[in-house]
């Protein structure tokens, strides 16, 4: 009495060592899949508590085995398969831990940003704004107007040039002068 391995193994040909055209290394893999597929699934279900994830992990074990198929014969298939399965669980645990830690750092980073808005920070910010305002007021009127149109109104050099009836290169010169003056007054040089 012979049994059809396809009937015992829902994936079909993966459990058949006699599939036509199957490379030699794959015959061994097919035999291992037929022999340990169910045990691997039970192994994973006890550890991941999600049926679809357990099935994915079983497939991943066989993908890893297929990647090394034909390199050398497995002496103790059961030990080897379950070692691959344990390594896979460890890899997943490390990945999950890394992702959780990254999310936690992201959340903590956002909290830290909110915590940094202290009364001292507000006062320092207002003082800095006052410095910028005074530095801008020290600029010649035309340079200040061009700088404000570009930086605060968002106009491009050509738009400013057209509006004021000057060249775009002269607009650029005024903006560079304003930036230089602000850097000097704010101690950025």
Q: Domains of the chain, with CATH numbers?
A: 5-113 (no CATH), 119-185 (1.10.10.10)
The answer to whether 58 and 46 have CB atoms below 8 angstroms apart is no
pLDDT band at 164 (very low <50, low <70, confident <90, very high): very high
pLDDT digits (tens, 9 = 90+) for 16-37: 344 444 455 567 778 888 888 8
- Is residue 49 left, alpha or beta, with left meaning phi > 0 and alpha meaning psi from -120 to 50? left
Sequence-distant (≥ 6) Cβ neighbours of residue 51 within 8 angstroms = 45
The answer to whether 181 and 139 have CB atoms below 8 angstroms apart is yes
Tokens read off for 163: 């509006």
40 closest CA partner among 14, 13, 21, 17: 14
The answer to whether 57 and 39 have CB atoms below 8 angstroms apart is no
pLDDT band at 10 (very low <50, low <70, confident <90, very high): very low
pLDDT of 52 over the 90 cut: no
pLDDT band at 8 (very low <50, low <70, confident <90, very high): very low
pLDDT of 171 over the 70 cut: yes
- Is residue 165 left, alpha or beta, with left meaning phi > 0 and alpha meaning psi from -120 to 50? left
Q: What does pTM read for this prediction?
A: 0.43
pLDDT digits (tens, 9 = 90+) for 100-152: 888 888 877 665 555 567 888 889 889 999 999 999 999 999 999 999 999 98
CA distance linking residue 98 with residue 75, whole number of Å: 35
Burial of residue 55, with CB atoms counted within 10 A of its CB: 0-12 exposed, 13-18 middle, 19 or more buried: middle
């Amino acid at each position: 009495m012979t049994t059809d391995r396809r009937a015992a193994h829902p994936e079909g040909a993966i459990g058949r060592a006699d599939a036509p055209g199957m490379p030699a290394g794959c015959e061994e893999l097919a035999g291992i899949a037929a022999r340990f597929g169910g045990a691997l699934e039970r192994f994973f279900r006890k550890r991941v508590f999600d049926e679809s994830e357990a099935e994915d992990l079983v497939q991943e074990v066989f993908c890893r085995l297929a990647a090394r198929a034909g390199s050398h014969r497995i002496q103790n298939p059961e030990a080897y398969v379950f070692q691959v399965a344990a390594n896979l669980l460890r890899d997943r645990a490390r990945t999950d831990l890394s992702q959780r830690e990254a999310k936690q750092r992201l959340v903590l980073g956002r909290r830290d940003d909110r915590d940094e808005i202290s009364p001292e920070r507000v006062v320092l910010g207002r003082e800095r704004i006052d410095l910028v305002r005074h530095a801008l007021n020290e600029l010649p009127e035309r340079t200040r107007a061009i700088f404000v149109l570009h930086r605060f109104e968002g106009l491009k050099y050509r738009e400013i040039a057209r509006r004021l009836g000057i060249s775009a290169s002269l607009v650029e010169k005024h903006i560079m002068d304003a930036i230089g003056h602000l850097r000097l007054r704010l101690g950025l040089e």
